[in-house]
Amino acid sequence: MTSQRRLLGAIAAAALIAFGAAGCGQKSTTSEAARAEAAASLNALLSETATALLKESPSLATNLGISEDIAGGPYNNRLADASPEGLARQAALAESLAKRFDAIDRKALTGQDAISYDVVRAALGYTIRGNAARFGNWGLEYAPTPYVVSQLTGSYQSVPSFLDNQHPMRNAADAEAYIARLEAFAANIDHETARLKADAEKGVIPPSFIIERTLEQMRPLANGPAPATTMVRSIQSRIGRATGVTGVQASDFVRNATAIVRDKIQPALRRQVDALVALQPRATPAAAVTRLPGGDEYYKAALAAWTTSEMTPDEIHQMGLDLIEDLTRQMDALLKAQGYAEGTVAARVQAISRDARQIYPNTDIGKVRLIDELNRQTAVITTRLPEQFITLPQQKLDIRRVPPEIEAGAPGGYYEPGTLDGSRAAAYFINLRNTAEWPRFTLPTLNYHEGIPGHHLQNAISQEANCTETRATDCIPLIRSSILWFSGYGEGWALYAEQIADEMGMYDNDPLGRLGYLQSMAFRAARLIVDTGLHAKGWSREKAIDYMVGVTGDQPSSIATEVERYIVWPGQACAYMVGRQTINRLRDKARAELGGKFDIRAFHDRILLDGPVPLSVLETNMNAWIRAQK
């Protein structure tokens, strides 16, 4: 999954109901003057909106390496405002911008302008609906997640990794900005602690096991030696390579960072620990977000935002059941063909997973070898991309392990885009807390999902289609190429990319690798069942874990982390398969209607060159493309 770019587009909570997307070539009786006026107003507002969102999200501006003019001023010395007042300001901004979009004559817009309007207005609508609950993480910065602090949310979880992996350290000014961000980090922890307490008064308390997992991650950071933290080690290891920084200055920067971590950040973290401990007697094992005030509407809003669809929990649940039945049949046949005929599908997959030949040593050397193999697989499929794509990206990709201090609760893998100027490569992170959770036969599919032809290919093509990077007439504005993110589209594409690799024959000589692919699909299908089971059908954490282990054969420890993710990110896990199924349905339609004219390379280009869009907009765009091909 993505990290920074889920900030704005995926935050939302409503579907495209009132904003139908216009396809290319749609006839209009609007005058040329009216069209020109509407287009000019829209493009000015798109730029203004991009700047407003980046100004509220300085970490995203750093992630993109954007100019200060576009970002609304200096940003490398700031973090997003996590105070209650900051979130309220962001919510008001979303409502104000939405009213300004509504004042534009939507009917006068055509082509990419029409798509841009629908995409951005939808994102604002999602945000406004998600902000209605006024608890958890809302405003602009976050997806609709119900708990201010958890194993996957909160500054303690995101900021150290961000500072280490994305904050630049080119010169003394960058080092001073790093120090300023450490100060802001300490303040944000206290802001979040205040929000955590306020939410508890409303009855919003994380489940007891989520609090335990969060404390497990937070306490080492709060109580360990300051010089050993990522925040200090990062500046210490990088400042020596900064231009124009003397040895004395470097020592001063490291000393200042150590003092801030020791005297401000860690005391703030200990206060947050105390606040969570104080909630433990009131916490229960109940997992459903629907138990919270207004929880039924909250779940519907979150589900709609993550999937960008209006599918009901019952419809999504049934989709999962149907897919599991088909995928289990395919896995059974493959296993029997490889001589694994006894026991349930899950038991046979687990037996293969435990085979010593499938496990990299759980040592630093073993983990380096594992990542080396992922890089080799990436190189192989990269050479074959022209079979499936016309447009190929230039941006490089790094593969890294999840920082050890957050790996206990972090997802199995996630992607972070590179800067627009290429000064920092894109990266995807694999969680290597225990290499036994990544048997060899599962690794290719992870690689194709997070890297190429998955998240990296999609994101890099989108960024390079940005109007500031290309002079193409069908380029897309920055807000679409690099700021907004829709999980139904982005995660749907990455899951579909796993399918592309299979269709390219990447598993022809690797039947167990294809088992890993089918297991991955079953894993995502099971998410549909488990997410809706937890939040709409009263499932417990234990029932969800048992079900997923039973249908996927995956490691119970890995599944437990996944289920806890669905509990604190309600709806997000459904985006993958809902998006993949939408793309497949559109592909089947295009192939049926175009016959011999259908070109899979052109089909993929059209999906990727429009950048991230809600699935309803994707459907309209692809229907227009089919008409144009005819």
Closest CA to 465 of 473, 350, 188, 265: 473
CA-to-CA dists, residue 344 to 71, 332, 333, 549, angstroms: 55, 8, 12, 12
Please give the single-letter amino acid code of residue 246: T
First to last CA, the chain: 36
CA–CA separation, 177 vs 171, rounded Å? 10
> What pLDDT does residue 348 have?
96
Q: pLDDT by residue (tens digit) across 39-75?
A: 999 999 999 999 999 999 999 999 999 999 999 999 9
Q: Are strands 397-401 and 426-430 parallel, antiparallel or unpaired?
A: parallel
Question: Count H helices, E strands: the chain?
Answer: 25, 3
Q: Please say whether the beta carbons of 242 and 252 come within 8 A.
A: no
pTM here is: 0.90
Is the per-residue pLDDT at 9 higher than 80? no
The total number of residues shown for the chain amounts to 630
pLDDT in tens, 224-280: 999 999 999 999 999 999 999 999 999 999 999 999 999 999 999 999 999 999 999
d(CA 394, CA 413): 23
Q: Which string of b and e fits 129-148 if b means at least 16 CB within 10 Å?
A: bbbebbbbbbbbbbbbbbbb
Using CA atoms, how far apart are residues 24 and 109, in angstroms rounded to an integer? 10
Tokens 């897309």 — which residue? 476
Tokens of 195: 């929000």
List pLDDT tens digits, range 202-213: 999 999 999 999
Higher pLDDT, 409 or 223: 223
